[in-house]
């Protein structure tokens, strides 16, 4: 009678070795990406991020934003912003102009560029007949110079509406006699009461066409 040999029996240690090998092999193989799952994106390091750092606006930047928000009008009747020459940084002897000159025929109405009030009415050798005015908050100073004369009844402390007539274009002060124009300057007053000593700002980028209020 033919006998079938017994199946070889595994040594009891062999299955344990096989399991240990499988675990070690699995740990060495990178996992396949899951279907429908995007690979994880690393957040940019603050040391390698190329975006520019955020800087809060400086006090002067905030004042420029404030002036822009006032929507100033060109303070001479009939003149549009593109008719104003760029004379802000022009040299006047040893000093910088820090203002704009708006040419117009003698007697053309000079208008208040903003709402506010009349601060000072002055006359001197440089500016001739002048007006200092402020915005409603009393921080921005508007200086109008070389006027031919004031509007009748204009007085210090008087309220001003945007477009109100405050005077008329002339050549008083050191303006050339044959070149009537308005010298217009905008400054930010940092010390209360020192209306003549503020930081100048070029108003040309912020001006809108002149429009009279009828007053």
* pLDDT band of 124, cuts 50, 70, 90: very high
CA dist 184 and 200 (Å) reads 11
**45-96: pLDDT as tens digits:** 555 555 556 556 677 677 778 888 888 999 999 999 999 988 887 777 777 7
What pLDDT score does 34 carry? 47
Contact (Cβ atoms closer than 8 angstroms) between residue 128 and residue 173: yes
| Residue 75 pLDDT | 96
Q: Class assignment of domain 59-206?
A: mainly beta
Give 168-204 pLDDT, tens digit per residue. Answer: 999 999 999 999 999 999 999 888 888 888 889 998 8
C-alpha span between 16 and 3 (Å, rounded): 32
Per-residue pLDDT reduced to its tens digit, 17-55: 454 544 444 444 454 444 444 455 555 555 555 555 655
Residue-range domain boundaries for the chain: 59-206
Strands 181-188, 140-150: pairing kind: antiparallel
What are the CA-CA distances from residue 208 to residues 114, 173, 178, 179 (Å)? 11, 27, 27, 24
Which of 87-96, 127-136, 142-151 bottoms out in mean pLDDT, i.e. has the lowest?
87-96
pTM attached to this predicted model: 0.71
Tell me how far apart the alpha carbons of residues 118 and 14 are, in angstroms, rounded to a whole number: 103
In this predicted structure, what is the pLDDT of residue 178?
95
Residues 99-109 have a mean pLDDT of: 96
User: Residue 114 corresponds to which tokens in the numbers above?
Assistant: 């903003």
């Amino acid at each position: 009678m033919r006998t079938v040999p017994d199946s070889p029996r595994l040594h009891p240690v062999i299955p344990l070795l096989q399991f240990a090998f499988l675990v070690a092999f699995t740990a060495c193989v990178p996992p396949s990406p899951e279907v429908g799952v995007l690979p994880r994106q690393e957040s940019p390091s603050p040391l390698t991020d190329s975006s520019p750092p955020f800087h809060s606006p400086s006090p002067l930047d905030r004042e420029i934003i404030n002036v822009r928000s006032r929507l100033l009008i060109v303070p001479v009747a009939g003149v549009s912003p593109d008719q104003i020459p760029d004379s802000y940084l022009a040299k006047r002897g040893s000093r910088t102009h820090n203002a704009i000159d708006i040419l117009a025929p003698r007697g053309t109405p000079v208008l208040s560029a903003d709402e506010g009030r009349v601060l000072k009415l002055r006359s001197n050798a440089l500016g001739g007949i002048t007006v200092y005015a402020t915005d409603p908050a009393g921080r921005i100073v508007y200086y109008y110079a070389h006027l031919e004369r004031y509007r009748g009844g204009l007085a210090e402390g008087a309220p001003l509406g945007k477009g109100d007539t405050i005077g008329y274009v002339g050549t008083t002060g050191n303006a050339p006699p044959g070149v009537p124009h308005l010298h217009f300057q905008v400054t930010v007053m940092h010390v209360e009461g020192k209306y003549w000593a503020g930081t100048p700002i070029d108003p040309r980028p912020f001006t809108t066409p002149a429009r009279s209020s009828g007053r």
